[in-house]
Structure 1
Amino acid sequence: MGEVGLPPAARHQHAARAVPVVLPSGRRGDRRGGRVPARRARAAPSLRRRPPPTHRVNARPRLCHTLVGAAAIIAAGVVLGLVANGVAGSGLPLARESGRPGETVTVDAARSAQRRGAALIDARPREDYLSGHIDGAISVPFASRQSERDRLRSELPRTRRLIVYCEGGDCRAAGDLSVWLLAEGWRDVRVLEGGYPVWEAAGFPVRTGGSP
């Protein structure tokens, strides 16, 4: 039955049931009672918040440059120290830091070694040597060891045993000279215990003057 002859209220109700509506998605639907059926909401995928990118500064090149600079400074200091030590007549022996001084020998062992060809080295100042020294000893004052290097190399083979002495007691010249001789290439260097006074007291040969 058509809408003709229907009361106005009935026609309005019939129109409300039959009016099509167009939904946003393009689908057609019915609007009943003035309401549009709700669409199922699609859950949007949750977006994880990513932290902003951090720019890490690579410290390795900077550290390498620092280490290289420090090594260069240390090397320059070592070179300057060696030059100053070589120029100074009373410089320290280069081998002192090695902790390898010549071994000590007793006066009897030194006398026996001298008879078998060992060379005795007097490390005292020149004036002490002139006043009295072991017979046959070579004067090499510790303070002038650099100037005596060539003479020692020409007179004493590196394989020859050397026995160094000074005044004994607190005298360190013999020990320091033995370290220097080892650093210069002599392989067998000893220090006389007690020094010249012990040798003289033992009655072993001594002499005065500048000759060995």
Structure 2
Amino acid sequence: MNFFKRGMIFVTFFGSCLVLGLIVAALGTKFWVVARAKRVSNPDESDGRINFGLFQGRKDLNVAYGWRTYPIDMLELMRTDRELLVHGLWVGTVGCLAASLLFVTLAAVFAVINTATTPAGALAGAPGLFVWNCAALVLNVTAVALWGVQFFQKLQHNVMSQEDRDNQWYSEHMASLGYSFWFVVAAVVMLTVNIVVLYVGVARTREKKSPEPMLEEKTNGAIMLY
């Protein structure tokens, strides 16, 4: 394996580390959705700010008597309020991100191995790097798509719990996708860059190797002529 190819593969190691950080941040932060809220009875005096991630969140509500802060436990909320989210879309989003962490970790580990040596097996070598990065890319794209469906199907219309809805709170058309979601989009972009870098490194190496059989054939012909 030539120096250029090793260098390009090592670049993907840093890309994989960045993707790992983005996915972990997306899973751990609380801003997959951000929204404002009002009360039907006094919309001019009331105000609410809500944000939550896949597991935790926070809501600040003001009914004209001052702000009050409440934590949001998404697992508990989904258990008590079946109408808030599509449970299958939430499970799919979390599952895709968790699986992508595994594949990105494999991509990072094998990028280091391929930089230091030339593994014998295909999955441990450059073909495997394509597999791990492509699998992670597909999983992250799927997570983005699932949460997009979740948002447009449910969350853009309401992010308030049943208890809040009973107290006349509403958030329709006041919600947007938060930065935790965009971390996953950034991971998709970075994985695409990784795949392009791998392709450039492998393709250039093949281009350099392709004339060698012709040179060998000419050398053999010259020997026979002699």
- Report the TM-score range of the alignment, normalised by the length of the smaller protein: under 0.3
> Could you say which structure has the larger radius of gyration?
1
Give the structure-2-normalised TM-score: 0.25
Instruction: Using structure 1 for the length normalisation, give the TM-score.
Output: 0.27
Say which structure is richer in helix. 2
Higher relative contact order (CA 8 A, sep 6+): 2
